[in-house]
A and B are shown apart, each in its own frame.
Chain A
């Protein structure tokens, strides 16, 4: 069975500091991995995804994530936090291109201090 674990329900950083949101997964087959962002009272927006190929994936708003198979991780990073990055971030896994089901982590709320 697949599962996703996001370490830290809340992460607080200062504006301009590095953002690191952790995601570990378990999957019996090569996974597809996703990061979504949810702003207050809005739906989820795809930040980036890993399917196959290059393990460092760049997304929107300056975010990137690296797929590390040996560590079963897909951590999300951004070199310099902006106030507008404050939101909830969800990591998700699916069974690949034919899969319809996304398995989500419990989310990490990012707080950005001025």
Chain B
């Protein structure tokens, strides 16, 4: 089902804690993305990576960090510096340097309690 898997589906975090969201793909895609989705605001780009060991900030990177140690994996850490982390997080991947669609994971809903 798309070959891109996010885990967990639901995540609860206490204020002040860091939490890491997992994203794995077996599509052999070069590019991977993290988006945040809030009601009525569409998809906002947090970070993206075009190649292993390289990543770039998106439009709302503050309070987030990522790594890209393997082509298949692009984990997102939501740090305590993120002031309003409760949201739906979507990971996506795409073959780079081609005009192709992005495939999305099923999303992780993060709630701060």
Are A and B interaction partners?
no
What residues of chain B have their CB less than 8 Å away from a CB belonging to chain A?
none
